[in-house]
A and B are shown apart, each in its own frame.
Chain A
Amino acid sequence: MRLSIACPATLRSDANNLAMVLGYGPADAETYVALNWQDAGGNLYAVASLPVSDTFTTDAQVALQRPAWDTDNIISMAAANRAQAALVFSLEPVLALPDKLTACAGDDALATLAAMGLTQVEVDI
């Protein structure tokens, strides 16, 4: 299953902490960076899209544990928990919201993001 995730600007830091908890290392703090997408109201989002295991959505909603690699306490577990509280999972595309971390299933990332009401911000080459 592929998940495409829309992260509003205000949740980026929290969501990157959650990404480190659910991911593999400190580099996952770079999951949500550029605000390349926007909704109909002009709210900006960073997006991620990745194949996940069938248990990912369940794993992401249980009590979070600091990963074994984080011996230096890089992760703010408080921030990760805030991001988890803002998570919305859906097997069908739903509109991204500016106060939610919205994750929708769909094989085609761009089609899923479009169905979430998002369009790419024009970037000058």
Chain B
Amino acid sequence: MTTLSLRMSLASNLRNSVSFSPASLFAGGEQGVWYDPSDLSTVFQDAAGTTPVTASGQPVGLMLDKSKGLARGPELVPDDLTTTFSSSSHIISSPTALTASSAQAEQINSGALVESGKAYRVSFTLSSYTSTGGGGVNVRVGSASSNDFAVNANGTYERTVVADGGSLVFRPNGAEVQSWVITNISVRELRGNHATQTTASKRPTYTEGGGLSWLAFDGADDAMQTAAIDFTVTDKMSVFTGVRKLSDTQINVLYELSASAAINGGSFWALPSYTGATPNTNAVWHILTRGTAFKNATTPTTFPAPHTAVQTHLSDISGDRTTLRINGVQEVQNTGDLGSGSFGNYPLFIGARNNTSLFFEGNLYGMIVVGKTTTAPETASAEAYMAGKTGLTL
């Protein structure tokens, strides 16, 4: 290669890394996830999504998946509200408004409108609100009152909420609420494989420092998980993570597809430490891919904690390839037989096995899982992108 062509190649790589968006990996409709904790519009303190993360040190109960562009589905609320909402006598439904005119603790319920576990963008306008106290109007997307959020001033509201039941409910919170009118109701699914943690103590901590943002997992009980992701149309998988492991004295799980990739076909895991391989130390990075058979790959090089890395996990079941790259360098590739079949329809667990054991201690700066084999330029661009999120230079 001449000096000129080398310069042109380097310039091209630089342009690619600067202009690259992980969204391009999903342009063909590929299944997967893209988590970016540095995007504060995608992280929330509670699993229902009612309280945004606004500062370092706050828990993360919901992390939205950006792989679908946070695209919204069709409108679920019909033009005529009377065809959906029902209530008792003191709340009147008209085609365009829900009106409560007396201090009655009655609710108006949409009936079956949403699906539990899915995220929705909910908006509405509250007007003619009067109250002798501060109770407000509770809004519930689902069935549990712990999922409520309250509004107590006239205005237009828009929230991201993960449903825990099937209905949308408006309910005055206390007899001091005298009157209210709800109009312009909109409920649209926020498509994606969003990660949640419903148990408060198990939520990782959003953390900022040095111009970076990450989720800190405590190694004791922090974890997140998605609903089942249907990867059954593909036997290829590419995973990119920006990660810092803080401990590798015990085996722990960075991510795992299914409750246990040790037994479930069409699954995978990544471990920031592992025993039983050469070298005989925990201070390695380790992956596994399983079709109907499994193979693993462990770095021949040791990377003792604390260690920060862009970790790339490439899998091809029919092609019998399980490849582990660390910081843009292929550390190991296992070409042993992975059997047959596709990846499965399982939850993705982050930071633990099945939300219950093998808890990861460390930081997660970003994560991309895409159900395809990325091309060499895509791999390089995704690694460069993740390096930027992680504070590394490859």
Contact = CB atoms under 8 A, between A and B. Distances in A.
Contact of B145 (A30, A51, A71): A71
Contacts of B57: 51
Interface of A: 2, 4-5, 19, 23-28, 30-31, 33-34, 36, 47-51, 68-71, 109-110, 113, 120, 123-125
B146 A47 contact: no
19 contacts: A5-B201, A23-B201, A24-B46, A24-B146, A26-B146, A27-B47, A27-B199, A27-B200, A28-B199, A33-B356, A47-B220, A48-B201, A48-B221, A49-B218, A49-B222, A69-B146, A110-B218, A124-B262, A125-B271
A53 B322 CA distance: 45
Given A49-B220, A110-B247, A25 B201 contact: no
Nearest to B196: A27
Interface string B130-165: 000000000000001111100000000000000000
A83 to B, nearest CB: 14
Given A31-B199, A51-B205, A123-B353, 8 more contacts: A34-B357, A48-B201, A50-B59, A51-B57, A69-B148, A110-B247, A120-B250, A125-B251
Contact of A110 (B47, B357, B361): B361
A48 B223 CA distance: 12
What 8 pairs across the A-B complex have the smallest Cβ distances?
A25-B146, A27-B198, A49-B220, A48-B201, A109-B218, A109-B220, A69-B146, A50-B201
Nearest to A67: B146
B202 interface: yes
B358 interface: yes
A49 B145 contact: no
Chain B contact surface mostly: loop
Contacts of B52: none
B201 A49 contact: yes
A110 B250 CA distance: 11
Contact of B202 (A4, A24, A31, A120): A31
Nearest to B218: A109
Contacts of A34: 356-357
Interface in B215-235: 218-222
A47 B221 contact: yes
Nearest to B361: A110
Nearest to B271: A125
Contacts of A47: 220-221
Contacts of B144: 25-26, 69
B362 to A, nearest CB: 11
A50 B221 CA distance: 9
B111 to A, nearest CB: 20
Nearest to B203: A50
Interface in B185-201: 198-201
A50 B356 CA distance: 16
Contacts of A26: 144, 146
Contacts of A49: 201, 218, 220-222
A104 B64 CA distance: 33
A7 to B, nearest CB: 11
Contacts of A113: 220
A6 to B, nearest CB: 10
Contacts of A4: 220
